[in-house]
Amino acid sequence: MGEVVKRAYKYRFYPSPEQAGLLERTFGCVRLVYNRALEARTRAWAFDRQHTSYVQSSAWLTEWKRTEELAFLNEVSSVPLQQTLRHLQAGFVAFWDKRSRYPRFKSKRKSRASAEYTRSAFRWRDGQLTLAKMTSPLDIVWSRPLPEGAVPSTVTVSRDAAGRWFVSLLVEDPAVGPLPPVTGEVGVDAGITSLLTLSRPIPGVSDEQGKVANPRYGQADRRKLAKAQRNLARKQKDSANRAKARLRVARIHARIADRRRDHLHKLTTRLVRETQTVVIEDLSVRNMLRNRRLARVISDAGWSQFRTMLEYKATWYGREVIPVDRWYPSSKTCSTCGQVNTTLALNDRVWTCPGCATEHDRDINAARNILAAGLAER
């Protein structure tokens, strides 16, 4: 029997004024400790060529708490402060392994406001969650049940730009495991007109041609968002009215992101359940976003989010995801005879192969080629 998967369940909650005040102070302290530790570790290397670690930064935190200037750090739970130092250490490890860039400072306005609590910093009793330094449990909206008998190992509290409060509970989920094997592989071509094009139609996922419609949630609310942003731009800096206008803009963005995330979750779950192997292009979305003409529609499509969801769900359910080299000419190669059509333009949505005279839908042909290339690389 395999290892039980740990899964995060995210819920919205409504804190009391006292709880909100404590959490806001905790967020501020977490950000301060992270930035101070990052500055100290950077300085230690720049001036003394000294490597520092989590252990050293934890000792610094103890010293900071003893100073009069930073004595307020003792007013919040120490666990989120220790956890942010662990996150900083993980950031440095990723940088040393050349998996990410150098850790950056957290901004009060732009960084995610969150705090992570381990088991020693919260109480879970009869389905109620009480965090350290709090006298009453959080008022959580249980939009879906936790796995039966589940006990959180880690709790992460956050507040988004729209002012909504969320709690994420990390629990073991015995229901997550390999699904019964199914026959069939599918190639996936990401697009803009159609969100995805599959090498073969899959009922409940695509239409009869194998295409998945692009809902374009950002475009649907573009006028509303533009009006709210113009209103924000007219407000005086640091005024109360500007704060209200900023919140209205954030709520529109949150609505768009929520709808997109929900759609991608449903799409990736169905795709993983219906196929054994999924072959995708290894796209560099970050580089593609540099194209000013396409940046908005690419962001709205959520290709990176789609791939992330697809890969971790495939791992959960015993499926296989194969990435294909992004430079492979999937659109220009005839899936029937293999001839490459070097004259194919970007706006040619349907084309005829000069070698075998087969007529191709550009996207369906690309999906079929992606599938063949992925299976050949196994």
In a domain, 249, yes or no: no
User: Between these two residues, 51 and 74, which has the higher pLDDT value?
Assistant: 74
Q: Report if residue 107 sits inside a domain.
A: yes
Range ranked top by mean pLDDT from 260-274, 278-292, 343-357: 260-274
User: What is the model's pLDDT at position 224?
Assistant: 94
At 1 the pLDDT is: 47
Q: Is residue 263 part of a domain?
A: no
pLDDT class for 254, splitting at 50, 70, 90?
A: very high
| Structural domain range at position 19 | 5-173
Q: What's the Cα-to-Cα distance from 274 to each of 32, 45, 131, 204, 334, rounded to whole Å?
A: 47, 52, 41, 9, 27
Rg (CA), the chain: 25
Higher-confidence residue of 347 and 11: namely 11
Let me know if residue 189 belongs to a domain: no
Per-residue pLDDT tens digits for 133-191: 999 999 999 999 999 989 999 999 999 999 999 999 999 998 898 999 998 899 999 99
In the set 63, 75, 281, 300, the catalytic residue is 281
Active-site annotation holder among 24, 258, 363, 377? 363
Confirm whether 362 is domain-assigned. Answer: no
Residue 339 in any domain: the answer is no
Q: Cα separation of 225 and 245, whole Å? A: 11
> How many domains, in total, are found in the chain?
1
Once rounded to an integer, what is the mean pLDDT over residues 69-90? 96
363 given a catalytic annotation: yes
pLDDT band for 2, please (50, 70, 90 cuts): low
Sign of the Cα torsion 12, 18, 19, 24 reads: positive
User: Any idea which of 118-132, 221-235, 283-297 has the lowest mean pLDDT?
Assistant: 283-297
Domain for residue 111, yes or no? yes
Q: Answer whether residue 367 is part of any domain.
A: no
Largest CA distance in the chain: 81
State the chain's mean pLDDT as an integer: 93
Length of the chain: 378
Q: Could you say which of 75, 148, 189, 238 is catalytic?
A: 189
196 strand-pairing partners: 190, 212
pLDDT greater than 60 at residue 9: yes
Q: What is the model's pTM?
A: 0.88
